Each structure stands twice: as structure tokens, then as C-alpha cells.
């Protein structure tokens, strides 16, 4: 089959773009004149199977400020903490959470965070609580997330700040004049718009999505990456199960001596182990049958961990509920059948593609080279 067509909305990390270019057929939207982009997209729509919206910034360690530390604000804080994010907040009064820093005014909060999340109730005092002064304090590297009500944010000021690059980006689940979203926002590649469906799951309304909180997560391989996954999902109140060659010293996680047993006791199965002769096709038909028609398989390891032909058949037959794949068995080739499935998310092996991670990887390579030249032990010796 032809290479996977990937739409790049904006310039990105040079290394990542080079890797994508090697594996995929790239369509660079920014190279087309702004007034011709609709025509460009229509012309290439049949070839584009994946979209990379913009160069990604890592979330881990970012300072998160929350407006309103009620039930929703506390849930946001819990999730952000799982990514090692320092939490600060503004509320009408200081709350009994000493590890979170309280700011008595919103401008000070915005000036001391990288991501500002609006999660307070709407009343006359909080209408336009995010105004020009707050947005300017957040600054050109800051990101505004509004999951509360549209009127919390002065929308014309938000649009102006985004257009003038005084604000780095925005994620909006709500708008000031719902159901209408300002047309200018659709032209921006640093804005994510969602039509007020933040709480729409099968548990709260008809067939929109599945709630992740509380799902049983099974992890194959509890090494550095597997533990990082476990930490993140625990923040969503997910029980963590795992399979490893030997039982690990993590009493909060349930160990299973076989992958089939792990899959049978999980709603989501995450593959995060190294690839070797013992783990090739570790996820086979038997494992997928155990995971079942409501189970979801996530592969962030290596493509050959999964029997791809068996997975495609299980998805097509409804014996497996869904899959999220960052890797494939015959990269850069992706099975044609997967491209047409609406219960599959495909990413062209870019799971580590943030500026911070790529920089850290480069620093590690340089550190190993310097240690070798100096006759010192390598930082990450393999053999």
C-alpha cells in the first residue's frame, strides 16, 4: 500500500518532521496560501489518514493554575499531579490543601502558571474573570483551558490575544454565545475546540464516549514507561493490574502471572514491555479474546508485540472493542483495514514527540558520548 498520508497543520520539531517524512507522505498545510487551504484540503482529502495539529509541548512538570477548587477543580488537580505538575489556584477563600498554592487574585495566579484552567461556577463576580489583564499575565507561552462556562472568558480579548500571539494557545469546551463559536478560532492552529461535550459519556448521556475513570487498566511490562502509565491512570481512579516476568514490589498493583489472565481482568490493556523473542506476539488471539468486545488495546511498545492480523480480524468481527496504536508490525506500512475503522486511533510512532522529550533524548546521547570519550561509565549502558 502507499505510505500513510499525514497532514501537518504547522511547522514542528525538525527531528520529528524528518522521521515522519521518512515513514509517511506528508501534506504541509502552511505551505499553501491561507486563502487556498480549503481547496488544498479538498484536493488531498482522500489521501490524508492522520493529522498532526502542531508541534507538541510536553505537559509533564508544567505549572497548572486552577480557577475554582471545587469538585471539578480538584479532579483536574488530581489528574495534573499525576504528570508531576505543581498546582496553584484561586478561589473565594483559601482551601485546606496545603500542597496547593493559593493566590488571592487571578492575575497573580495567571502570572505564575503555564496552563490556566477555568473550573469555577458562573455568577456576576466570575463573568469575564479571564480578561485582558489575566490573559497578558498568562503570556505568549501560556495556555488557557475553559471547561466551565463561556462567559467566564472575555472572548473578544481571547481572540485578539491569540491572533497577536500574546497567548500561546487555548482549549475551549464552552463559548460565550453557544452554540456559536467565533469564526476566527477555526483559522488558528493553536486552538482546540470542543462543542460543549466535556461530560458526555455513555454514563451520563447517550452513546457519546466511554468514561475512562474507574476502568481497570492492565499493563504488560512494569518498567519505567509502564510505571509512568500506571501513575497517570491512578489519577483517574483506575485499578492497575500488570504482567511482568517476575512480581514487582508494588503492593498497590495486582500482579497476574499470565497475559491472558491479565487481559481477562482488564478493560484497557497497555503494551509497554521491551521487544524480544519472548514478547513477540505476546498479544495474540487468545489474549484479545480474553480482553473482549468492550476491551481496548493500547500499544506504545513495538509493533511486533501484537499479532496484527489477529487484531485486525478481532476488531472487524467485534471481538475487540477498540485499539490505540502508536506502532505497527511492518512500519511504516499500516494495514489498510485499520484506516477505515472508527474504533481505532492510529499515530505514526510519535508517542515521545514533544520538544522536551526530544531535547532530553539528544542530551542523553551527548552525555553518553562525552562519558565514553572521557573514559567514564556510560549513563545508559546496554551491553
**Predicted confidence (pLDDT) per residue in 308-340, tens digit:** 999 999 999 999 999 999 899 988 788 888 888
Does the annotation mark 302 as catalytic?
Answer: yes
Give the CATH fold of the 5-52 domain.
Rossmann fold (3.40.50)
Angle formed at CA 225 by CA 72 and CA 370, multiple of 5 degrees: 125
Predicted local distance difference test score (pLDDT) of residue 367: 79
Residue 57 confidence (pLDDT) above 70:
no
Mean pLDDT across the stretch 287-299? Answer: 96
State residue 40's pLDDT score: 87
Q: Which of 49, 152, 349, 358 is catalytic?
A: 349
- Between 38 and 185, whose confidence is greater? 185
Q: Enter the pTM of the model.
A: 0.58
Residue in 90, 302, 305, 358 annotated catalytic: 302
With b meaning 16 or more CB within 10 Å and e meaning fewer, what string describes 332-343? eebbeebeeeee
53: which 3 cell numbers?
495539529
Mean local confidence (pLDDT), 72-80: 93
Q: At what angle do helices 355-373 and 14-23 cross, to 10 degrees?
A: 100
291 or 38, greater pLDDT = 291
> For position 215, what pLDDT does the model report?
94
Active site residue 203: no
Fold of domain 217-346:
Rossmann fold (3.40.50)
Catalytic position from the list 166, 331, 355, 356: 331
Question: E strands of the chain, at which residues?
Answer: 5-8, 25-28, 48-52, 64-67, 87-90, 101-102, 115-118, 143-146, 169-172, 191-193, 217-220, 240-243, 254-255, 268-271, 296-299, 322-325, 344-346
| CATH code that applies to domain 64-193 | 3.40.50.720
Domain ranges of the chain: 5-52, 64-193, 217-346
Please determine, for residue 352, whether its predicted confidence score (pLDDT) is greater than 90: no
User: What pLDDT band is residue 178 in, cutting at 50, 70 and 90?
Assistant: confident
Write down the pLDDT at residue 218.
Answer: 97
Whole-number percent of the chain with pLDDT over 70: 85
Task: Decide if pLDDT at 269 tops 90.
Answer: yes
**Known active-site residue 331:** yes
Q: Does the pLDDT of residue 350 top 70, yes or no?
A: no
Dihedral sign (CA 310, 313, 315, 321): negative
Q: What is the pLDDT of residue 60?
A: 81
Same fold flag, 64-193 and 217-346: yes
Query: Considering the chain, what is the average pLDDT of its residues?
Result: 86
CA 249 to chain CA mean position, Å: 28
- Give pLDDT, residue 123: 92
Q: Please give the pLDDT value at position 330.
A: 87
Assess whether pLDDT exceeds 50 at residue 248.
yes
- d(C-alpha 13, C-alpha 176), whole Å: 34
259 in Cβ contact with 243 (< 8 Å): yes
Check whether 106 has a pLDDT greater than 90: yes
What letter would DSSP give residue 36? G
Sheet holding 64-67, edge to edge: 101-102, 87-90, 64-67, 115-118, 143-146, 169-172, 191-193
Is the pLDDT score of 305 beyond 50?
Answer: yes
Amino acid at each position: 500500500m502507499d505510505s500513510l498520508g499525514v497532514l501537518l497543520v504547522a511547522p514542528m520539531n525538525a527531528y520529528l518532521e524528518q522521521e515522519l517524512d521518512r515513514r509517511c507522505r506528508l501534506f504541509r498545510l502552511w505551505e499553501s496560501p491561507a486563502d487556498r487551504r480549503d481547496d488544498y484540503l479538498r484536493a488531498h482529502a482522500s489521501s490524508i489518514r492522520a493529522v498532526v495539529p502542531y508541534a507538541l509541548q510536553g505537559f509533564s512538570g508544567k505549572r497548572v493554575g486552577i480557577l475554582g477548587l471545587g469538585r471539578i477543580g480538584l479532579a483536574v488537580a488530581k489528574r495534573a499531579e499525576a504528570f508531576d505538575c505543581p498546582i496553584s489556584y484561586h478561589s473565594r477563600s483559601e482551601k485546606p490543601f496545603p500542597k496547593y498554592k493559593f493566590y488571592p487574585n487571578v492575575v497573580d495566579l495567571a502570572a505564575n502558571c503555564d496552563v490556566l484552567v477555568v473550573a469555577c461556577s458562573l455568577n456576576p463576580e466570575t463573568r469575564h474573570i479571564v480578561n485582558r489583564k489575566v490573559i497578558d499575565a498568562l503570556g505568549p507561552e501560556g495556555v488557557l483551558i475553559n471547561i466551565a462556562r463561556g462567559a467566564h472568558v472575555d472572548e473578544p480579548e481571547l481572540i485578539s490575544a491569540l491572533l497577536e500571539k500574546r497567548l500561546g494557545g487555548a482549549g475551549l469546551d464552552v463559548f460565550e454565545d453557544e452554540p456559536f463559536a467565533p469564526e476566527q478560532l477555526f483559522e488558528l492552529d493553536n486552538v482546540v475546540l470542543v462543542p460543549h461535550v466535556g461530560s458526555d459519556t455513555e454514563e451520563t448521556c447517550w452513546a457519546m464516549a466511554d468514561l475512562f475513570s474507574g476502568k481497570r487498566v492492565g499493563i504488560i511490562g512494569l518498567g519505567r514507561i509502564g510505571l509512568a502509565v500506571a501513575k497517570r491512570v491512578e489519577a483517574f481512579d483506575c485499578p492497575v493490574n500488570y504482567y511482568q516476568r517476575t512480581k514487582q514490589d508494588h503492593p498497590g498493583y495486582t500482579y497476574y502471572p499470565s497475559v491472558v489472565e491479565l487481559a481477562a481482568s482488564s478493560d484497557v490493556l497497555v503494551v509497554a514491555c521491551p521487544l524480544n523473542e519472548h514478547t513477540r506476539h505476546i498479544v495474540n488471539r487468545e489474549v484479545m479474546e480474553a480482553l473482549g468486545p468492550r476491551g481496548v488495546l493500547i500499544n506504545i511498545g513495538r509493533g511486533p508485540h501484537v499479532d496484527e492480523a489477529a487484531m485486525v480480524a478481532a476488531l472487524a468481527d467485534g471481538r475487540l472493542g477498540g485499539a490505540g496504536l502508536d506502532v505497527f508490525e511492518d512500519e511504516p506500512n499500516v494495514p489498510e483495514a485499520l484506516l477505515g475503522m472508527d474504533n481505532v486511533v492510529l499515530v505514526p510512532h510519535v508517542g515521545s514527540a514533544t520538544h522536551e522529550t526530544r531535547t532530553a533524548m539528544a542530551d542523553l546521547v551527548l552525555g553518553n558520548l562525552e562519558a565514553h570519550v572521557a573514559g567514564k561509565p556510560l549513563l545508559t549502558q546496554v551491553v
